[in-house]
Amino acid sequence: MDVTLPDPVDYAVPGFVVLVLAEMLWAWAKDRRRYCPRDTLTSLGLGLGSTVAGALSAGAVFALATWVHGFRLLDVPYTWWAFVLCFVLDDLAYYWFHRSAHRVRWFWASHVIHHSSQHYNLSTALRQTWTGFVSLGFIWRLPLFLLGFPPAMVFFVAALNLVYQFWIHTEAVGRGPRWFEAVMNTPSHHRVHHAVNARYLDRNYAGVFIVWDKLFGTFESERDDDAPRYGIVHQLGSFHLFWAAFHEWIGIARDVRHAPGWRAKLGYLWRPPGWSHDGSRDTSETIRAKWEAREL
């Protein structure tokens, strides 16, 4: 049965614009350093580029999804419970995609764009990758099609997931009720995720439900005595759109070219960001270890 579902993101865009403006007014009243015009321009420009890149690759991704769906184990119908189940399982798939996007340099090269701003505001939410298709990040959703969820249903709930994640990219919201913070991804949990503080590195990969991080041991709560600092470990220091979009891919190419031997070359592709064949650079683990040694 062919079903056409609307794209939730299209309907959410006017809301995004209004909320970004509202947050700017909040920053104007509270702390004008929370926004930077050039950073905002870069973030939104990257978001627009991401939308274009997504539109260009949508056909191929949908075709692949449909092909995989052809081997499905079950026939999942378009019922309300199927949408709910699909949403939950898609969020689980998102958690693992997101975790790989931080722990495997190949996937990180695509995802780093989103983290490359030193600001944390709603415009950061729209700072998205141009190379998602190239990095093959969509493979994490393939099991859903194989299980039997129709591609249209999966892409619909995935878009809902993305719309949810927009509002958590803010410092304007503190912590919510405990029951909410216990289950859902929130601005507080996601501030930790975007932070480069040693304590917070590679934590809180959740999309919608923070329970996955608690289940798989990657949860860290935000602490008042350790205010998040945002960006990436090796700060970009540039507002250049194309540099932001491709710098890590260029870094990978340089490292692979100069690496001694195939083992090292492959290491620069699949090992965590910061890994080096001679141990000369820092990974999240070494940063955390150095910090823990100082704390003691």
Partner 1 sequence: MNWLMLGGSAAAILALSGAAWWLRLGRDVKIGSVEEAADAVEHSLPGFVTGGAVIGADGLAALAVDKRGERVAVVKRHGAQLAVREVGWKQIAATADGIVVDTGEKRFGGRIAVTGVDQLDMRRLAPQSLKV
Interacting residue ranges for partner 1, rule: CB under 8 A: 10, 13, 17, 20-21, 24-25, 27-28, 32-41, 44-45, 47-48, 51-52, 55, 118-119, 123, 196-198, 229, 231, 233, 235-240, 243, 247, 282, 286-287, 290-291, 294
| Shortest distance, position 152 Cβ to partner 1, whole Å | 18
Alpha carbons 203 and 259: distance in angstroms, whole number:
29
User: For partner 1, which is the closer residue by CB, 181 or 282?
Assistant: 282
| Shortest distance, position 29 Cβ to partner 1, whole Å | 10
What does the block give as tokens for 205? 């990969």
User: For partner 1, which is the closer residue by CB, 110 or 117?
Assistant: 117
User: For partner 1, which is the closer residue by CB, 36 or 65?
Assistant: 36
User: For partner 1, which is the closer residue by CB, 66 or 238?
Assistant: 238
Query: What is the chain's alpha carbon radius of gyration, rounded to the nearest angstrom?
Result: 19
User: For partner 1, which is the closer residue by CB, 143 or 251?
Assistant: 251
User: For partner 1, which is the closer residue by CB, 63 or 266?
Assistant: 63
> Is residue 122 within 8 Å of 19, Cβ to Cβ?
yes
Alpha carbons 105 and 140: distance in angstroms, whole number:
16
Q: Position of tokens 């491709």?
A: 246
User: For partner 1, which is the closer residue by CB, 27 or 158?
Assistant: 27
Quick one: how far is CA 209 from the chain centroid? 14
| Shortest distance, position 16 Cβ to partner 1, whole Å | 9
Cα torsion at 94, 100, 103, 107 (round to 10°)? -110
User: For partner 1, which is the closer residue by CB, 138 or 243?
Assistant: 243
Alpha carbons 292 and 296: distance in angstroms, whole number:
6
Residues 6+ apart with CB under 8 A from 39: 117, 118, 119, 123, 239
| Shortest distance, position 10 Cβ to partner 1, whole Å | 8
| Shortest distance, position 36 Cβ to partner 1, whole Å | 3
Q: Encode 113-126 in three state secondary structure.
A: HHHCCCCCCHHHHC
| Shortest distance, position 23 Cβ to partner 1, whole Å | 10
DSSP 229-265: -BS-SS------HHHHHHHHHHHHHHHHHH-SSHHHH
- The H or E element spanning position 54 is helix 37-69
| Shortest distance, position 20 Cβ to partner 1, whole Å | 6
Burial class from Cβ neighbours inside 10 Å (0-12, 13-18, 19+) for residue 73 reads exposed
| Shortest distance, position 167 Cβ to partner 1, whole Å | 16
